[in-house]
A and B are shown apart, each in its own frame.
Chain A
Amino acid sequence: MNRSSAHLPLNLAKYRNVPNILMAVGGALAALGFFVNREQFAFSWLLAFMFFLSLGLGALFLVLVHHLFDAAWSVPIRRISEQLSTILFPTMALLFLPIAFLAPQVYPWMREPHPELDHALHAKYPLFTMSGFYVTSALCFLIWWWLSSNLRGWSLKQDQTGGALPTYKLRRYSCVGIILFAVTLTLGAVMWMKALMHEWFSTMYGVYYFAGSVWMTLATVYVITMVLDRQKVLSNILHANQYYYIGSLLFAFTVFYAYIHFSQYFIIWNANMPEETFWYLAREKGSWFYVGIVIIFGHFFIPFLGLLRIDVKSVFPYMLAICVWAWLMHFVDLSFNIMPILHPQGFVLHWLDLGCWAFMTGLVATVFLKKFAAHPPYPLKDPRLSEALGLYHAMPDSFSAADLSPQHGRQGGK
């Protein structure tokens, strides 16, 4: 296995200014767009927002499942997800403000003069009211704040105390958290993305956004782990199997996403009811049809076949290409969800899409790097760290029979 730590560390100092440049250029473009073309700005901003919301939620999910499964292998990479998940609050909450202000220009249902006459709004009462929208949005961010800050906070506390209490606390937060996560992620996907066509309904929609989100997050975590390994930050606690496991999860979520999206499409296609089919019909007009084809092949077939072999999951240049591709495909997928409302005639890559995206990339990168640098790069005193290091195989001759006697057994066992 050719680990990236086998090479000399990269000189990353010269890239130090890249996030600032992205923020400055992207911010300038976004600000210009705000005055020149406000509607396009709102949609481009929403697209970039949903993209990085995916990253925060995906990271939160990885932390939650780590504790729920009491996993050992992911201990060395958990801090990456913990820090990534805290971009949900306040960073993403602040980035939501322009959407909150421009909501009536983005969501057609808010412009409905007689909402009481619209059956789709009536059926979803009181969720699809102005107060429903803002209360739900605030609630989502509050829950994400509570979860991500506690999951990160208790983990950092364990670095100092080394006690067992944080581990128990983290498990409790995760038990409650996974349910709150499922509800809030679904609400976020429904209120901010699906509500662009509020007459439509799909029980798959929350899971669909979730599958794509975790997929792109795994790609991100893979690349960050790879870089930290090369920079000798994590090289002493990583094994080859961490890469293989993240790669396998990436593969699993490639399939899971395709399964969810196919199921959503297939059920609607098969039932053939106008109140459901119009969402996909709008996405078969003009060049959106080809975007759909790109998603089928680019979001599923290419990464599926590309990740099928067991050994490629640890080939770094290859995986880097797959991970960059995953970011691109997630962007295209979200564009497929959001943009047909603004550009029904076909796919348009507007300069504002790139501007808003660049601004948020720079901002999220800055926030993440600052947080990550301020604390130890992995949970220093996690009880399962030694297991992750592969130090748990007791050899039969490494202890004597006296160790197994009742007096000593308590101390010897874990």
Chain B
Amino acid sequence: MNASSTPYGIIAEFSNTASLLHAAEKVRDAGFRKWDVFTPFPVHGMDQAMGLRNSKVGWFTFIGGVTGYTTGMIMIWWMNAVDYPLVVGGKPMFSPFHAFPPSYELTILFGAFGSLFGMMFLNRLPRLHHPLLKHRQFAQVTHDKFFIVIECADPKYSETETKKLLEHAGSPRIEMVEE
């Protein structure tokens, strides 16, 4: 492990949700893209304050579900009506009705896979380490502190200006995080 001192970003601490919400609105309005908010519990209205749009995970779920449904239908049709035709209970070799329950279950299964793996893909998970985990004060995020982190990789980032913005937003404690 190299003792590098590449800065990862800037971390600002807040002590309550109200000041955090207003700070998030300021960061959003300043046009930052690579930033995030960390809280011990869900804060109502944070999505709007951060300007987050609806998650894209739903598309992975939908595509997974459609894939599951068609896979189920084609599989049952192929096995029961083409590859090994077998009369069961005097029913037709293939009917969308008897094929529906298993296809529906595959819809749910593949939809769930879509959700899980889509979420992991969008979040770039799994990931073994994150620079924030080295930051001592950040451990308080699971207790009673709230944080805004703006990454250096953000095109709007400038060490002095960004620090000033967060100071104006009311953060009592602003520090640098290293890679």
Using CB atoms and an 8 Å cutoff, list the residues of chain A in contact with chain B.
262, 265-266, 269-270, 272, 308-311, 393, 395-397
Checking B18, B58, B98 against A270 with a beta-carbon cut-off of 8 angstroms, the contacting residue is: B98
Asked if B155 is at the interface (CB within 8 A of a chain A CB), the reply is: no
- A395 contacts B89, CB within 8 Å? no
- A265 contacts B97, CB within 8 Å? yes
Least Cβ–Cβ distance between A177 and chain B, in angstroms: 33
- B18 contacts A397, CB within 8 Å? yes
- A396 contacts B16, CB within 8 Å? yes
- A310 contacts B58, CB within 8 Å? yes
A270 to B89 alpha-carbon distance, docked (Å): 8
Checking B44, B100, B101 against A393 with a beta-carbon cut-off of 8 angstroms, the contacting residue is: B44
Interface band, chain B: 10 to 19
Not counting A266-B101, A272-B91, A397-B18, a sample of 11 additional A-B residue pairs whose C-beta atoms are within 8 angstroms of each other reads: A262-B100, A270-B89, A270-B97, A270-B98, A308-B62, A309-B58, A393-B44, A395-B16, A395-B18, A396-B16, A397-B16
- A272 contacts B89, CB within 8 Å? yes
A397 to B17 alpha-carbon distance, docked (Å): 10
| Residues in A whose Cβ lies below 8 Å from that of B54 | 310-311
Least Cβ–Cβ distance between A304 and chain B, in angstroms: 11
- A266 contacts B58, CB within 8 Å? no
Which residues of B, 89-112, contact A by the 8 Å Cβ criterion?
89-91, 97-98, 100-101
Which chain B residue has the least Cβ–Cβ distance from A259? Answer: B104
Least Cβ–Cβ distance between A370 and chain B, in angstroms: 40
Using CB atoms and an 8 Å cutoff, list the residues of chain B in contact with chain A.
16-18, 44, 54, 58, 62, 89-91, 97-98, 100-101
A266 to B103 alpha-carbon distance, docked (Å): 14
Checking B62, B90, B97 against A266 with a beta-carbon cut-off of 8 angstroms, the contacting residue is: B97
Q: Is the interface of A mostly helix, strand, loop or mixed?
A: helix
| Residues in A whose Cβ lies below 8 Å from that of B98 | 270
Least Cβ–Cβ distance between A88 and chain B, in angstroms: 36
| Residues in A whose Cβ lies below 8 Å from that of B100 | 262, 266
A269 to B58 alpha-carbon distance, docked (Å): 34
A265 to B58 alpha-carbon distance, docked (Å): 31
A311 to B91 alpha-carbon distance, docked (Å): 42
A395 to B18 alpha-carbon distance, docked (Å): 8
Least Cβ–Cβ distance between A54 and chain B, in angstroms: 27
| Residues in B whose Cβ lies below 8 Å from that of A309 | 58
Which chain A residue has the least Cβ–Cβ distance from B90? Answer: A272
Which chain B residue has the least Cβ–Cβ distance from A398? Answer: B18
A397 to B19 alpha-carbon distance, docked (Å): 11
| Residues in B whose Cβ lies below 8 Å from that of A272 | 89-91
* A-B complex: 3 closest residue pairs judged by Cβ atoms: A269-B97, A395-B18, A396-B16
A397 to B100 alpha-carbon distance, docked (Å): 56
Which chain A residue has the least Cβ–Cβ distance from B61? Answer: A308
Which chain A residue has the least Cβ–Cβ distance from B43? Answer: A393
A272 to B97 alpha-carbon distance, docked (Å): 13
Which chain B residue has the least Cβ–Cβ distance from A296? Answer: B96
| Residues in A whose Cβ lies below 8 Å from that of B89 | 270, 272
A265 to B95 alpha-carbon distance, docked (Å): 13
| Residues in A whose Cβ lies below 8 Å from that of B17 | 395-396
